[in-house]
Structure 1
Amino acid sequence: MNIIIVNSTFKAARFSLVVAIIGMATLLAVGPCAAQPTPKRALLALSKGDHTLAIIDPASLKILARVPVGSDPHEVIASADGKTAYVTIYGGGSLHELSVIDLIGQKALPTIDTKPFMGPHGITFADGKLWFTAEGSKTVVRYDPATGKFDWCMGTGQDRTHMIYVTGDGKKVYTTNVSSATVSILTDSLMKPRAFQNGPPPNSAAGGPPPQGNNGPGGPPPARRDWVQTIVAVGKGSEGFDVSPNGKELWTAGAEDGIITVIDLASKTVTASIDAKVQGANRLAFTPDGKHVLVSSLRTGDLFIYDATTRKEIKRLSTGHGAAGILVDDDGSRAFIGCTGDNYVAVVDLKTLTVSGHIAINGADGLAWAVRP
């Protein structure tokens, strides 16, 4: 009798073990509850509070994944193929790190140490390269993802070189220098050969043989490429800025004096100073059609909407507290505003000029699009 009980117990235990093994195998086959895949066009939003990058479906406004980043994230950009995101870890100019995120795998990749370029802040992607400002080093830097190396940098000599815009061909770079109240225009230029410092070479005297060209002795030095900086004075505390879609104007707003400065990029001169009273101005962005300019105020939480042609205010819209990052939808229908103080991204309907929704992001700030072909 005892043997039968033992045998029965053994069979029951063996059956339970088999069921458990089958269950585990099923779980392994199915895997854990999979995160929703990143859409071909995704909205990226940084959380200063949680130190994460949120990947968001712009259609449903649902957060699909949150990926850890460094300790003080400020700005984000995606690569041209939409597969990788780069985040500047700022630290008020003291840190030296770029967080890298695999947007398809929704996971962190090895970080990029930017040292000796300290305090990376503004960041963009152009001409196959990653460009960023290093505020603590008063420098603009270019990084080549293909080689994993910094292949160019240029000092501005200005204080708090902060935000950045690079033309698609990588030949012009614009930055705001907040504490210097200036904009730097950096241009990749073909320079004329330098003149001879001590007169012409001996063989250029009357009756002598002509110079033998760039490669011969006594010939003039060759033309060379170099970057040239033009500094333009703007409103005090100018930080956020944007270039008009037609590439003709640069607008920036001063956080201290509330003045919007308009620069003609052909002549590199100021053509207008608008007393907009946008105190605490933080970011500025054109709508894709170039008709409107949006300015966020970190101090008041307002979004100022300007007519780019008349340069008059159309509306002042309250988004909450501490309006910061601005990102406009490609079709110009919506704007996303990172409201740091309210811990959300406000969604603004640009047709009705009203707040139409919110996305919960703790300490929301930098925003970007990631688009895969």
Structure 2
Amino acid sequence: MSVSVNLSFLRQPWLLAGLLLTVPLAGYGQPAAPAPAPGAAPILVLNSLDADVSVIDPVSWREVRRLPTGKEPHHLYLTPDEKSVIVANAGADSLTFIDPRTAEIQRTIRGILDPYHLRFSPDMKWLVTAGNRLHHVDLYRWDGKDITLAKRIPTGKTPSHIWIDSKSTTAYITMQDSDELVAVDLASQQLKWRVKTGALPADVYGTADDRLVMVGLTGSDSVEVFDVSDGPARPVRKIKTGLGAHAFRAAADKRFVYVSNRVANTISKLDLQSLQVVDTYLAPGGPDCMEILAGGKLLLTTSRWAKKLTVIDLETKQVVRQVKVGKSPHGVWTLDHAPR
């Protein structure tokens, strides 16, 4: 079976060099373990090139089983009722619903064209998906159980990640291969504006007051900050984090946000008040998506090139363990996460 893989990030030569020079930590070779302890929600890791999900026991820190999904599962998101986590299978044109407490597959919705990234609006009325290979953004209405396509919006090249403001009025989407940030008005289902960004914009993150939007520049070494409070986005600052700045994960304190730098093999801690890097953590193997466990002490990141889930102690700044998972691990999530 052929697998379609988006390798557009390799248009930057130093990105390829960083990939090849990455040296992951040694694997642990741990055998399968019993199911997660009662009350401990499993950790889910999406293996994009294996078309499945690794289920990890957070007590023994071992992979206990794999769940088949569809080709290219990249990102996942919790439903508003918190009864399902949705895995978006971009290459299979499908959504897989998984019980976040038992890690059992509940159902699959097919005919969802190219769902690479996905996000619910805060008012829980909209599910927005980014069609990475087909260059569109889809707006779905959510009735509490099913989704209905309301509008398909053609965009720039390679829609990547989505952020929706706190009032559920605007969705911001990065265009990975046309180097743009676009805004979609959810009420009118129309494109509001588009602005240029730096190279290879990936994840996007908005501040709680809806004034600033940050974009990780995977083709560079920075996070680009835009003011979106009045009209089209206006660039206000670039924050140097590390080569391959990629994904965001908010800290539980509402003041800091973490940025994974995929090529630099680091994670930066940004102060949302000063807009400066205040700490850096080593994260081997090409860190990508992140999760923070309840209590705020441990940060999980998928090590994209090492086929590992890496666990970092945020107090000691040390990698405390790596768990072997599948090929090209991408999204990571658990119900027992710190507040976002």
Q: Which TM-score band applies after superposition, normalised by the shorter structure?
A: 0.7 to 0.9
Compare the two structures and name the one with the higher helix fraction. Answer: 1
Q: Counterpart in 1 of 2:170?
A: 172
Matches of 2:323 and 2:76 in 1, distance apart? 17
Matches of 1:104 and 1:306 in 2, distance apart? 31
* 2:98 is aligned with 1:101: yes
TM-score where L is the length of structure 2: 0.76
**1:108 CA displacement:** 2.8
Deviation digits for residues 159-215 of structure 1, max 9, x if unmatched?
Answer: 1111112345533212111112121222235xxxxxxxxxxxxxxxxxxxxxxxxxx
* 2:150 is aligned with 1:185: no
* 2:227 is aligned with 1:264: yes
State the structure with more CA Rg.
1
* 2:198 is aligned with 1:235: yes
Q: Counterpart in 2 of 1:140?
A: 138
How large is the Cα RMSD of the aligned pairs?
3.0
* 2:74 is aligned with 1:74: yes
* 2:338 is aligned with 1:368: no
Matches of 1:307 and 1:320 in 2, distance apart? 23
Matches of 1:226 and 1:170 in 2, distance apart? 12
SS of the residue aligned with 1:299? coil
- Partners of 1:300 and 1:321 within 8 A in 2: no
* 2:255 is aligned with 1:291: yes
Describe the shift of the 1:292–1:103 C-alpha distance in structure 2 as closer, same or farther (beyond 3 A): closer
Matches of 1:365 and 1:186 in 2, distance apart? 26
Counterpart mapping for 1:113-262 below 5 A: 113-115=110-112, 117=113, 119-126=114-121, 127=124, 129-135=126-132, 136-142=134-140, 144=142, 146=144, 148-167=146-165, 170-189=168-187, 225=188, 227-262=190-225
- Partners of 2:166 and 2:208 within 8 A in 1: no
The total of aligned residue pairs comes to 300
Deviation digits for residues 85-134 of structure 1, max 9, x if unmatched?
Answer: 2112223xxx422222244553334422235x3x2111123305533112
SS of the residue aligned with 1:341? coil
The answer to which structure, 1 or 2, has the higher relative contact order (CA under 8 A, 6+ apart) is 2
Deviation digits for residues 14-47 of structure 1, max 9, x if unmatched?
Answer: xxxxxxxxxxxxxxxxxxx994477475432212
Q: Counterpart in 1 of 2:109?
A: 112
Matches of 1:132 and 1:40 in 2, distance apart? 30
Deviation digits for residues 192-251 of structure 1, max 9, x if unmatched?
Answer: xxxxxxxxxxxxxxxxxxxxxxxxxxxxxxxxx554522232221010122224433211
SS of the residue aligned with 2:274? coil
Matches of 1:332 and 1:178 in 2, distance apart? 31
Q: Counterpart in 1 of 2:8?
A: none
**1:292 CA displacement:** 2.5
Describe the shift of the 1:329–1:246 C-alpha distance in structure 2 as closer, same or farther (beyond 3 A): farther
**1:315 CA displacement:** 3.4
Deviation digits for residues 292-349 of structure 1, max 9, x if unmatched?
Answer: 3322122232222333333333333321121111223455433211102122211222
- Report the AA paired with residue 318 of structure 1: L
**1:53 CA displacement:** 2.0
Describe the shift of the 1:60–1:81 C-alpha distance in structure 2 as closer, same or farther (beyond 3 A): farther
Counterpart mapping for 1:13-52 below 5 A: 35-36=35-36, 39=39, 41-52=41-52
Q: 1:344 aligns with which of 280, 289, 308?
A: 308
Matches of 1:39 and 1:235 in 2, distance apart? 44
SS of the residue aligned with 1:288? coil
- Partners of 2:201 and 2:215 within 8 A in 1: yes
**1:49 CA displacement:** 4.7
Describe the shift of the 1:309–1:111 C-alpha distance in structure 2 as closer, same or farther (beyond 3 A): same
Describe the shift of the 1:41–1:310 C-alpha distance in structure 2 as closer, same or farther (beyond 3 A): same
Matches of 1:249 and 1:331 in 2, distance apart? 27
Matches of 1:148 and 1:244 in 2, distance apart? 30
TM-score where L is the length of structure 1: 0.70
Q: Counterpart in 2 of 1:217?
A: none
**1:67 CA displacement:** 1.7
Q: Counterpart in 1 of 2:277?
A: 313
- Partners of 2:303 and 2:309 within 8 A in 1: yes
SS of the residue aligned with 2:186? strand
- Report the AA paired with residue 287 of structure 1: A
**1:65 CA displacement:** 4.5
